[in-house]
Each structure stands twice: as structure tokens, then as C-alpha cells.
Amino acid sequence: MKNTVKQYSQASGPVINIHVDTRILTFVLNNSITVYPVAIGKPSTPTPPGHWKVVFKSVDPGGPFGVRWMRLSVPWGSFGIHGTNNPNSIGKAVSHGCIRLYNEDVIVLYSKTPIGTPVNIDGVVRKIRTLKVGSKGDDVRQVQQLLSDLGYYTASIDGSFGPATRRAVIKFKKDQGLKVNGLVGKNTLKALQIAHDLAFS
């Protein structure tokens, strides 16, 4: 990213962010970021949004939990980040609320994640539409907020995709090396979330 990104002091240790809508987990440490695809909860058993911490870890829990398990501090139920015995589920909304990774990914993540690591979960299961000039809604507001936080957008965060939003999107995509146009689809939203996590975690 160029200097338009506001840099903030990072936590002393790693931070995990989970974006339910785009089904990605980002691991941020020492101004670097790693992105993993994940499976998340079904609409009927959603992954709980909020700010949690890793409170327990175990190796080789077996069965649907794969090769690693990290329990979160959610005060209701048993929610965690774990591997899977069903790799075809990654990228889908199929779990009972837990976050699943490929076993090879969760082994690496587990090794870098101490007890007490913050875990931020946001978003809901939804179909991600392509936003363009004329689009309106909470998803437009989300994009405007991300662009604003990153220093690309200075107009009103009103949920209405107008010329100012389009200009900000074009500048962001150019800086990211993405196909330069004024559209926001899943890949652009992912890029915004990743850039935001790196700047703010």
C-alpha cells in the first residue's frame, strides 16, 4: 500500500481477524499479514461476531476438528478455530459456528498463536453482489467505511455508491494492482478487508 494507508500501532502479539462474508481469516503480526480460506457457520448456527480471545489449545482432537483445536472465549456454546476432516467444506457456510481451516493451514496458524491472542469476527453469511454507481445499501456503507478508514474516501458514508465512491475504489484498486475499474465484487472486498486488517491490527 502507498502512504494513503493510515498506519496504527500494532498489538504486541498476533491478531486474528475472521471475515464471515468473504470466508477469510487474516493473521497479522509484525506488520505482515497471512490470509487463509475458511469455512464458517451456517445461517442457522452462525459464527459469533465479536471480539474474543483464544483460551485453550489442543493437538490432534480428531474427527471433524482435524489436527488442531483453539477454543474461543465466547461465553455461550463451544466455538473454536480448528482443522477439518472434510477439506471440501472450506470456503462454505456449513459448520455449527466454528471456523474450519485446511489441516496444513491450521498447523501453521496454531504454532504462531499463543493463548490470549485476540480474535475479531465480523460479517454475516450473505451473497456478495457487485457494487457500482447507483448501488445502495449496507454493503455500500461497509465499502465506504473501509475506504474512509484507509484514507481513500472523504465524502459522506451514506450507503449510496456515487462518483466519489467510484473514484476512491479506482484509486484503491490501482494501488493494489487489481483490475482498475469502479466495481466492487468479492475480490475487491477481500482486498479492502486485508488492507484494513494490516493497517489497523
Residues in the chain with pLDDT values less than 50: 1-9
Q: How many beta carbons lie within 10 A of that of residue 151, not counting itself?
A: 17
> What is the pLDDT, as a whole number, of residue 160?
98
Instruction: Read off the C-alpha cell for 53.
Output: 480471545
**Res 8: pLDDT:** 40
User: In whole angstroms, what is the distance from residue 132 CA to residue 120 CA?
Assistant: 28
- pLDDT at position 36 is 98
- The pLDDT value given to residue 12: 77
3-class DSSP state for residue 118?
strand
In this prediction, residue 11 carries a pLDDT of: 60
Q: What is the per-residue pLDDT for 1? A: 25
Please tell me the predicted confidence (pLDDT) of residue 9.
41
| Pairing mode of beta strands 40-41, 93-95 | parallel
Residues paired with residue 69 on neighbouring β-strands, in sequence order = 58, 82
Q: Which of 19, 82, 96, 196 is catalytic?
A: 82
Q: Do the beta carbons of residue 4 and residue 152 sit within 8 Å?
A: yes
- Tell me which of 19, 51, 96, 98 is the catalytic residue: 98
Which residues fall within 8 angstroms of residue 37, CB to CB, at 6 or more apart? 23, 24, 25, 90, 91, 101, 102, 105
* 82 labelled catalytic: yes
- The two beta strands, 50-59 and 68-72, are antiparallel
